[in-house]
């Protein structure tokens, strides 16, 4: 008896396909029988025409802040679900993508980071933030990265401050700063430091401190292939559910940290 054919693979276009991250996404799509890389799109290409001719169902965008919003809106105009890994778009641009997805009746996802480890780092940092009074974030990326701090570092700080109901961390200021900026930037009392070096992909550590102890949560990537599993999970989730996901944490359905803190409090009562 002939074996019945499985479901048709999901058709995905990639904008920024020849970039450092884009090449890894294309390779992952081509290696997974559940997906087809339907189009490889670069700057200057007619993205609307590429989406139409390829019958793409989703567009994965790893380009630049200047191009990312336009690419995502071109996707929604074509009835294609955008999955955006481009960082530095800003809240207003993300809101426009969300609204465009709702108006077009398609799902979508915009994520500060598609690395599973980075998302778990943010989640764990959010959980820990209520228990410590000081915090420093150090992120390191390749020398050519356009924005600083990284979208992941900024989102980490935002999540931690929200978990504290807006209560600031204690920030230690130097009485005498002999080199301006040495203490880094600051978000809600959390110091944020950016490192830019050749040979680095994307690393981040979050160190918490209180009397007599520190806790460091660290994530390192050795290749941009780290983004591919999260991107494929997001594409599948977007196309299967038709909903908009604010980041990979929603795709992974990580439990709310508020509920976990409640369990921890009750277990120690």
Catalytic annotation present for 145: yes
Question: Is the pLDDT confidence value at 267 over 80?
Answer: no
Q: pLDDT, tens digit, for every residue of 226-254?
A: 999 999 999 999 999 999 999 999 999 98
Kindly name the residue from 141, 171, 193, 219 that is annotated as catalytic. Answer: 141
Burial of 238 (0-12, 13-18, 19+ CB in 10 A): buried
Band (3; pLDDT cuts 50, 70, 90): very low
pLDDT for 163-205, tens place per residue? 999 999 999 888 888 998 899 999 999 999 999 999 999 999 9
Nearest to 217 by CA among 209, 229, 225: 209
pLDDT band at 113 (very low <50, low <70, confident <90, very high): confident
Catalytic residue flag (residue 141):
yes
pLDDT digits (tens, 9 = 90+) for 58-108: 999 999 988 999 999 999 999 999 999 988 788 899 999 999 999 999 999
Can you list the domains of the chain with their CATH numbers? Answer: 10-114+225-252 (3.40.50.720), 116-172+179-220 (3.30.360.10)
Q: Is the pLDDT of residue 259 over 60?
A: no
Average pLDDT of the segment spanning 247-264: 74
List 142, 145, 193, 219, catalytic entry: 145
């Amino acid at each position: 008896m002939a074996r019945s054919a499985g479901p048709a693979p999901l058709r995905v276009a990639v904008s920024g396909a020849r970039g450092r991250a884009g090449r890894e996404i294309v390779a992952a799509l081509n290696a997974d029988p559940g997906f087809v890389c339907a189009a490889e799109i670069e700057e200057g290409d007619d993205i609307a025409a590429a989406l139409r001719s390829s019958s793409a169902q989703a567009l994965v965008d790893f380009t630049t802040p200047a191009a990312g919003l336009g690419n995502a809106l071109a996707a929604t105009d074509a009835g294609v679900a955008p999955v955006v890994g481009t960082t530095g778009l800003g809240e207003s641009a993300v809101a426009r993508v969300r609204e465009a997805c709702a108006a077009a009746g398609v799902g979508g996802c915009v994520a500060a980071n598609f690395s599973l480890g980075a998302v778990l780092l943010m989640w764990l940092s959010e959980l820990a933030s209520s228990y410590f009074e000081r915090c420093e974030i150090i992120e390191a990326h390749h020398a050519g990265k356009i924005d600083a701090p990284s979208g992941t570092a900024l989102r980490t700080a935002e999540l931690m401050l929200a978990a504290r109901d807006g209560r600031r961390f204690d920030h230690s200021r130097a009485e005498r700063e002999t080199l301006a900026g040495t203490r880094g930037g600051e978000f809600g009392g959390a110091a944020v430091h950016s490192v830019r070096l050749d040979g680095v992909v994307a690393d981040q550590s979050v160190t918490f401190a209180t009397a007599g102890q520190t806790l460091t949560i660290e994530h390192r990537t050795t290749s941009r292939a780290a983004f591919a599993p999260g991107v494929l999970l997001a594409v599948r989730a977007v196309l299967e559910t038709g909903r908009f996901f604010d980041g990979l944490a929603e795709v992974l359905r990580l439990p709310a940290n508020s509920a976990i803190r409640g369990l921890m409090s009750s277990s120690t009562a």
